[in-house]
Amino acid sequence: VWHAFEDMVGGEIYVKKIPSMSVVSLARALAPNCTLEFVGIRPGEKLHEQMIGEEDSYYTFEYPGYYKILPSINEWSTSPERIKNGIKVAEGFTYRSDKNKVWMTSDELLAWINSSSRYIGKI
């Protein structure tokens, strides 16, 4: 978040690269003794989260740890001052939870919670 404040000129959207995790893995990590009941998908419920859609690929650049979607107006998406060291993503690129290359395990989630416990609930 702080990097975005320092880097932004105006109109950019920053999308942090984060691991995906299945709801079942999440439930097993947080409540290992619970009984899981599969009830199917409910109306309006999504199976996967899409953070960057195909239509945004024309203005999206990749950086270590995040993606930046530049505004499509005023040729801002081609401005070297805005792009800096970003790498243009391929046309048709999407960033979705089901297509993510990095997946978090239950053990990794618990380790993250333990290492972050002094911050959780403080903001």
User: Domain range spanning residue 25?
Assistant: 2-36+49-116
User: Would residue 10 count as lying in a domain?
Assistant: yes
Q: Domain count for the chain, please give it.
A: 1
User: Would residue 79 count as lying in a domain?
Assistant: yes
Q: How far apart are CA 80 and CA 82, in angstroms?
A: 5
Angle, CA 68 vertex, CA 64 and CA 72 arms, to 5°: 155
User: Would residue 43 count as lying in a domain?
Assistant: no
User: Would residue 55 count as lying in a domain?
Assistant: yes
pLDDT digits (tens, 9 = 90+) for 51-107: 999 999 999 999 999 999 999 887 777 888 889 899 999 999 999 999 999 999 999
Which backbone phi and psi does 110 adopt, to 5 degrees?
-65, -40
User: Would residue 14 count as lying in a domain?
Assistant: yes
Helix pair angle (106-116, 23-30), 10° resolution: 60
pTM for this one?
0.82
Q: How far apart are CA 93 and CA 26, in angstroms?
A: 27
User: Would residue 44 count as lying in a domain?
Assistant: no
Which among 60, 88, 81 is positioned nearest to 72, based on CA atoms? 60
Confidence of residue 10 (pLDDT cuts 50, 70, 90): confident
Upper half-sphere CA count for residue 53 (Cβ side, 13 Å): 1
